[in-house]
Amino acid sequence: MNWLVVFSNLQVSSAGTAGPIYMRIVDCVRTAIESGLLSPGDKLPTNRELSSFIKVDRSTVARAYLELSRLGLIDSQVGRGTFVSRGRAEQIVDPIVDASWQFERTLVGQPVQAAQPAGIEATTDQVDWSSRYSRYVAGLSGLISRLPQFAADDAISFAGGIPAQDFYPSVEFKKIVHSILDSDRGDRMFDYSPFNGEPELRQSVIEHLAGKGMDVLAEQLLILSGSQQGIDLVANLLVDPGDAVLVEEPTYFWAISNFRARQARLIGCHHDEEGINLAEVEAGLRRYAPKFLYVMPNNQNPTGLTMSLNRRRALVDLCSRFSTPILEDDYSGDLCYEGAPLPSLYSLSEKKDLVIYQGTFSKALCPGVRLGWLVGPEAVMEKLSFAKRTSDLATNSMAQVILNEFLHRGLYQEHLLRVNAVYKRRRDAMLSSLEKEFKPFAGVRLIKPKGGLFLWMSLPEGLSNRDLLNFARHEGVVFSPGDLCFSGVGGLNYLRLCFIQNDETITADGIARLARAYKKYLDYVNASASGLASQSPRTSNHVLI
Amino acid sequence: MNWLVVFSNLQVSSAGTAGPIYMRIVDCVRTAIESGLLSPGDKLPTNRELSSFIKVDRSTVARAYLELSRLGLIDSQVGRGTFVSRGRAEQIVDPIVDASWQFERTLVGQPVQAAQPAGIEATTDQVDWSSRYSRYVAGLSGLISRLPQFAADDAISFAGGIPAQDFYPSVEFKKIVHSILDSDRGDRMFDYSPFNGEPELRQSVIEHLAGKGMDVLAEQLLILSGSQQGIDLVANLLVDPGDAVLVEEPTYFWAISNFRARQARLIGCHHDEEGINLAEVEAGLRRYAPKFLYVMPNNQNPTGLTMSLNRRRALVDLCSRFSTPILEDDYSGDLCYEGAPLPSLYSLSEKKDLVIYQGTFSKALCPGVRLGWLVGPEAVMEKLSFAKRTSDLATNSMAQVILNEFLHRGLYQEHLLRVNAVYKRRRDAMLSSLEKEFKPFAGVRLIKPKGGLFLWMSLPEGLSNRDLLNFARHEGVVFSPGDLCFSGVGGLNYLRLCFIQNDETITADGIARLARAYKKYLDYVNASASGLASQSPRTSNHVLI
């Protein structure tokens, strides 16, 4: 691939992007690698060539190449030039994201395979399994079996994002299953479910939503095999390759992956204290005519931010003015520890065809049941129903029958009261441990979440969560690297900590381990002869928003 | 849309298509409508204009327009010209396909909504939910709530394709669930499953496949939320818009829908007695460089054909020579009523990266569990695993834990012996009823299946399964219209009958009803002043292959 083509996209692809120019160059190269436009081993232009071509200062290009090198995306070879790294897959993305089993069982607890070639496209005389998706995924999925492992089996995990296993309503579920099996409804558990869901569960979900002030007709509801399927179906329905999608920056890793796999162009909008930044949303709407906005107003993943009521109203008005649909992901709205829950964007919208609302019981109950739902305009739901059938025909019947009975017996509200009390204590425990343990360190910032599962933590710029993770594994604690949640570049100095999985004692121990790891990492940075030493932490203390 | 653009595609899109020229014109118009290139109300060229433009005889264009009109795709208005039909959605496709609940509960048993506009794209000041997929799906999904209903609630259904409910292993499943819930494995039912499936079920599936002579490594196996998900993931991984995919003609409706939704170009290859026609496959491979071949060697849906061993070997060799992957869908291989099961294409392939094999227990057990699997080359499975996670993160745990125990206790093989004996009797009952009841009618043909669920029946050309279905509903019997299974045009004279759902007595009654309906339909055709009367059935008797 001629680099002129890559960088001729620079003006186009980052015209509306916030941030310094060197980051646009980084973004451009990263995107080109992910899309397969640049391949491992491809030569990049020299500093002189590139600065002259895109008309920026040479120091800007130098800074961009430094960042790209730090990200492991490029290698400079003295006397030969700068090349796309062959080992990039291991370093760009780390799949320690939203399912802690994935981290604990696959990455930490089990032996790791020897490294394999990144894909089979390049080899001759092999069957041709190539595609654009395939090239994209090669870098992401390949690394899953190739990550280095450090942590012991007894590591404390703040990674992932699943409910606390000790609070699964297993006892109630077991009672329900026994009683259903012995009733005349037992056989229904093994039959096909109607494609839009079991009629009784559908009615229960409509009543559940009515309790949130949402007025939903049967024709507007589709039961899903988990909440992730909603993202998949909406993207399947709406995203043609090259389409723009507005997302929060940062946002949910598996949404990014899904949209990217469909070759969408992601336009990230940052947050302030009240939620997504409306000026950036408006700029995105004007410049990119996106297919839709994907947003999590409650306990946003990964930041934990809850959007204010005013911001919700203004966001709905803005998207309504541009007639741009919203996919509202309410993955954890029922986990609310402060104040009353705020109305959904769906409820606030006067235009009844503006919002698709996506919900699930998984985060409050247990994830194994794999149930979620979409609510939206009838005409769109009709098409999404078709997409659901092309995807998996129908949702597992057993889970639906069981969950319906759980709701019918009023157990869900009881369960919520219990877990919300527990999770609130766990959140507070993590916050106070962090305040205590990180007091000695300057420049560490936290966002205090009002609900949900996640606590978002930033280190001083220039520090890397990957390096910290290596130290942390040695201390026996793990977390999710925050940069995975960025659709653009950046985020290397962020950590996502899940606070609901461990009790207060374990959390205190884990945060103490994390602080020890951080201390060792800082010592290493300061001792090292690398340029990072000049970017040592600032002297102001850390702030809790 | 200017018609010149539509028909300039004619040469390109149908260069390799078998069949007469008028069918190419039909195909061209149908594709243009489905892809949104032609919209309802668009004017088509006159006979004179089109015959001159594409250089064919005027009688050929006349025949094509007649067929298009009969399909309900176009309307001719005297003095005004020929237009794309506004009511086409109701007439092209009928979703009575692979889930009888869909037919019986949604279409037959429940009130139907008033007709709605086909989509919301055209309306102003509405939120813009449009996309290419959306336009495609509008015609397909829109009609689901708009089909006319005729059949009474007690209609006998040969539609759909699910196992006989009276043979679900409900008693065994209930015992298993009770015992698991009371064991220390009970909690596992509600936890996340690893994305590639529960370890114990994975081992059980590998052993099950070993029993079929298939050598599968753990790294090659991915557990799915039902077999349909395999089609979805492979298409997601491999199909870029515009890519060609080779399929059998006819083939599985929800595979066609899935590939079409991804804007694939489907190249259909017909069957002979031994299976898919290799000359057509080779022509397809040469001309279209397809991404893969989708094929069902056992009890092909809808024809019921089982591919011979020689044909399997030759097909594998052919695809291997072209390095073109095969997606082998073995949705019902365990339902085998005659002779020993033949080896899979996967087993026969010397190139270990040629075939992805897709299987399920759903058709032999019960569909509500929604479990299936893919087996394929490690490098490809790694990417499919990633696609699986972007689609629904993980498969429902409960179903996996239960099914594993069912396999572990040796109950699956016992169950197979039982249902194969029953289904064989039901097949034979349907065949002998058909022989008896359709004896008076000429030109009716059947394929006798060696296994599976389906019996494929053809009426004399010129007759329409839709018209017959209307008569059949009045008699209290329903079936799946065969044309739904064609990726190209045609197939209106085919019926798919599912023979495993009803016992011998009900089957005999249902086939008698069908014969009465057919008699009334023929009387109607013969009495009618329409051109169809001239295409009256031939005098040879019907043939059982």
| DSSP per residue, A362-404 | TTTS-GGG--EEEE--HHHHHHHHHHHHHHHSS--HHHHHHHH
**Exposed / middle / buried, residue A368 (Cβ in 10 Å: 0-12, 13-18, 19+):** buried
Q: Where are the beta strands (DSSP E) in B10-141?
A: 43-44, 74-77, 81-84
Residue pair A439/A446 in contact (Cβ under 8 Å)? The answer is no
Note the pLDDT of residue B198: 94
pTM of the model: 0.75
Q: How far is CA A376 from the centre of its chain?
A: 23
Task: Show the tokens assigned to B311.
Answer: 């044909």
pLDDT at residue A323 above 60? yes
In the predicted model, what is the mean pLDDT of residues A346-354?
93
B399: contact with A, CB 8 A cutoff? yes
pLDDT of B86 reads 72
Cβ of B220 under 8 Å from any chain A Cβ? no
Among residues A40, A192, A195, A64, the alpha carbon closest in space to that of A121 is found at: A40
Write down the pLDDT at residue A200. Answer: 94
Q: Where in chain B is the domain with CATH 3.40.640.10?
A: 170-412
Residue B33 confidence (pLDDT) above 50: yes
β-strand B74-77 against B43-44: which pairing, if any? Answer: unpaired
In this predicted structure, the answer to whether residue A33 has a pLDDT above a threshold of 50 is yes
| pLDDT (0 to 100) of residue A539 | 28
Contact of B441 with chain A, judged by CB distance below 8 Å, is answered with: no
**Length of chain A as a residue count:** 545
Nearest to B407 by CA among B363, B442, B361: B361
Higher pLDDT, B296 or A85: B296
pLDDT, greater one: A55 or B104: A55
B10 pLDDT band, cuts 50/70/90, is low
| Nearest partner of A197 among A426, A53, A401, judged by Cα | A401
Residue A455's DSSP bridge partners are A497
Nearest Cβ partner of A178 from B134, B178, B237? Answer: B178
Contacts by residues A12-17 (CB-CB < 8 Å, ≥ 24 positions apart): A13/A265, A15/A287, A16/A267, A16/A283, A16/A284, A16/A287, A16/A288, A17/A268, A17/A488
φ and ψ at residue B285, rounded to 5 degrees: -60, -45
**Strand, coil or helix: what is A359?**
strand
Distance CA A355, CA B228 (A): 28
Least confident span in A287-296, A367-376, B268-277 = A367-376
Q: How confident is the model at residue B14 (pLDDT cuts 50, 70, 90)?
A: very low
Per-window interface: A 92-121 vs B, CB < 8 A: 98-99, 101-102, 105-106, 113, 116-117, 119-120
Please state, in angstroms and rounded to a whole number, the distance separating the CA atoms of residues A429 and B275.
66
H-type alpha helices, B71-169: 88-92, 100-101, 132-142
pLDDT attached to residue B91: 33
Instruction: Test B261 with A387 for CB contact under 8 angstroms.
Output: yes
For an interface test with A, give the residue of B233, B389, B415 to mutate (most A CBs within 10 A).
Answer: B389
pLDDT band at A86 (very low <50, low <70, confident <90, very high): confident
CATH number 3.90.1150.10 given to A98-164+420-544: yes
Q: What is the DSSP letter of B31?
A: H
**Structure tokens, A68:** 């790209």
Decide if B315 touches A, using CB distance below 8 A.
no
Q: Is the pLDDT of residue A116 over 50?
A: no
Is the pLDDT confidence value at A515 over 50? Answer: yes
Q: What is the identity of the amino acid at B128?
A: D
Lowest mean pLDDT, pick from A152-166, A445-459, B13-27, B454-468: B13-27
CATH 3.40.640.10: which residues of chain A?
A: 213-391
**CATH architecture for the domain at B3-90:** Orthogonal Bundle (1.10)
Res. A432 pLDDT band, cuts 50 70 90: very high
* CA separation for the pair B15, A288 (Å, rounded): 39
Give the C-alpha separation, A524 to A544, whole Å. 26
A304: left (phi over 0), alpha (psi -120 to 50) or beta: left
Whether A35 has its CB under 8 Å from any CB of chain B: the answer is no
Mean pLDDT score across all residues of chain B: 82
- In chain A, which residues have their Cβ closer than 8 Å to the Cβ of B378? 116
Set of chain B residues whose Cβ sits within 8 Å of the Cβ of A105: 194
| CB of A159 closer than 8 Å to CB of A103 | yes
Residue pair B192/A367 in contact by the 8 Å Cβ criterion: yes
Closest CA to A91 of A61, A66, A120, A68: A68
The pLDDT, as a whole number, for residue A466 is 85
Radius of gyration (C-alpha) of chain B in whole angstroms: 24
Confidence (pLDDT) at B138:
57
Please answer yes or no on whether A237 and B392 come within 8 Å at the CB atom: no
Please give the Cα distance from B303 to B496 (Å, whole number).
8
| Predicted local confidence at residue A153, as pLDDT | 63
Classified as helix, coil or strand, A487 is coil
A117 pLDDT above the threshold of 60:
no
Task: Quick: pLDDT tens for A267-296.
Answer: 999 999 999 999 999 999 999 999 999 999
| Measured CA distances, A513 to A151, A483, A508, A517, B534 (Å) | 12, 22, 9, 6, 87
Cβ-based neighbours of B401, under 8 Å, separated by 6 or more: B180, B185, B188, B189, B198, B200, B201
Lowest mean pLDDT among A35-44, A190-199, A480-489, B512-521: A35-44
Q: Tell me the Cα Rg of chain A.
A: 24
Q: What confidence score (pLDDT) does residue B263 get?
A: 82
Ranges of CATH 1.10.10.10 domains, chain A: 3-90
Nearest chain A residue to B185 by CA: give it.
A170
Whether residue A68 contacts residue A74, with contact meaning beta carbons closer than 8 Å, is answered with: yes
CA distance A374 to A341: 19
How far apart (Å, rounded) are the C-alpha atoms in residues B233 and B196?
Answer: 13
**From the CA of B443, how many Å to the nearest CA of chain A?**
35
pLDDT at B144: 36
Cβ atoms of A50 and A7 closer than 8 Å? yes
CA distance A399 to chain B (A): 8
pLDDT mean over A408-435: 96
Q: Please indicate whether residue A425 or residue A170 has the higher confidence score (pLDDT).
A: A425
Numbers of helices and strands, H then E, in chain A: 19, 19
Nearest-neighbour CA in chain B from A537: distance (Å): 37
Closest residue by Cα to residue A490 from A20, A12, A86: A20
Picking from B113, B173, B228, the nearest residue to A392 by CB comes out as: B228
Q: Closest residue of B to A238, CA-based? A: B131
Grouping H, G, I as helix, E, B as strand and the rest as coil, residue B92 is helix
Q: Are B371 and B398 spatial neighbours (Cβ–Cβ below 8 Å)? A: no
**Closest residue of A to B319, CA-based?**
A127
pLDDT greater than 80 at residue A408: yes
Find the range with the poorest average confidence among A327-341, A449-463, B385-399, B423-437: B385-399
Question: In chain A, what residues touch B379 (CB-CB under 8 Å)?
Answer: 116-117, 119-120, 129
Helices (H) and strands (E) in chain B, counts: 19, 19
Of A160, A154, A291, nearest to A234 by C-alpha is: A291
The yes-or-no verdict on residue B65 having pLDDT over 90 is: no
Please report the number of interchain residue pairs, chain A to chain B, with beta-carbon separation below 8 angstroms.
300
Decide if A350 touches B, using CB distance below 8 A.
no
CA distance A239 to A231: 11
Chain A hits for B382, CB-CB cut-off 8 Å, are: 141-142, 144-145
Residue B153's pLDDT band (boundaries 50, 70, 90)?
A: low
Element (H, E) at A246: strand A244-248
User: What value does the mean pLDDT of chain A take?
Assistant: 82
Question: Which candidate in A173, A391, A401 is best for mutational testing of the B interface (most B CBs within 10 A)?
Answer: A391
The partner residue sitting opposite B226, judged by closest CB among A117, A182, A393, is A393
Question: When comparing pLDDT for A136 and A392, which is higher?
Answer: A392
| CATH 3.90.1150.10 domain span(s) along chain A | 98-164+420-544
List C-alpha distances in Å: A148 to A320, A473, B233: 47, 11, 28
How is residue B251 written in tokens?
């083939």
Q: What is the ipTM of this complex?
A: 0.72
Structure confidence at residue B189 (pLDDT): 82
B405 neighbourhood in chain A, CB within 8 Å: none
Angstrom distance (rounded) from CA B374 to CA B382: 11
* Residues of chain B found within 8 Å of residue A193, distances taken between Cβ atoms: 368
The residue behind tokens 């043939």 is: B543
**Nearest CA among B43, B370, B346, B394 for reference residue B197:** B394
List the CATH code of the domain at B170-412.
3.40.640.10
**Whether residue A476 has pLDDT greater than 90:** yes
Q: What DSSP element (H or E) covers A294?
A: strand A293-295
Across A217-228, average pLDDT: 95
Q: A183-194 pLDDT, tens per residue?
A: 888 888 888 888
State how far the alpha carbon of A5 is from the alpha carbons of A1, A461, B531, B535, in Å: 8, 31, 60, 61
pLDDT of residue A31: 75
Residue A129 has pLDDT above 50, yes or no: yes
Is some CB atom of chain A closer than 8 A to the CB atom of B280? no
CB of A294 closer than 8 Å to CB of A245: yes
* Percent above pLDDT 70 for chain B: 82
What is the C-alpha separation between A467 and A176, in angstroms, rounded? 47
C-alpha atoms less than 13 angstroms from C-alpha of B61 in its C-beta half-sphere: 18
What is residue A8's predicted lDDT score, i.e. its pLDDT? 65
Range of lowest pLDDT (A286-300, A387-401, B296-310, B334-348):
A387-401
Pairwise CB contact (< 8 Å): B238 & A133: yes
Q: Report the alpha-carbon angle A267-A272-A275, nearest 5.
A: 75
Q: Which of residues 49-88 of A touch B (CB under 8 A)?
A: none
| Domain A213-391: CATH class, spelled out | alpha beta
**B131 CB within 8 Å of a chain A CB:** yes
Q: Which residues contact A279 (CB under 8 A, 6 or more apart)?
A: none
Q: Say if residue B97's pLDDT is above 60.
A: no
Write out chain B residues lying below 8 Å of A163, CB-based. none
pLDDT digits (tens, 9 = 90+) for B443-493: 999 999 999 999 999 999 889 898 899 899 899 999 999 988 998 878 889
Q: What percent of chain B has pLDDT over 90?
A: 50
Q: Are B338 and B304 in contact (CB under 8 A)?
A: no
pLDDT at B92 over 60: no
- Nearest Cα neighbor of A156 from A458, A505, A457 is A505
Kind of pairing between the strands at B81-84 and B74-77: antiparallel
Looking at the partner chain, which of A145, A379, A386 has a beta carbon nearest the beta carbon of B119?
A: A379
For residue A255, the tally of other CB atoms under 10 A from its CB is 27
Q: Are A486 and A250 in contact (CB under 8 A)?
A: yes
Please indicate whether, in this complex, the C-beta atoms of B254 and A116 are within 8 angstroms of each other.
no
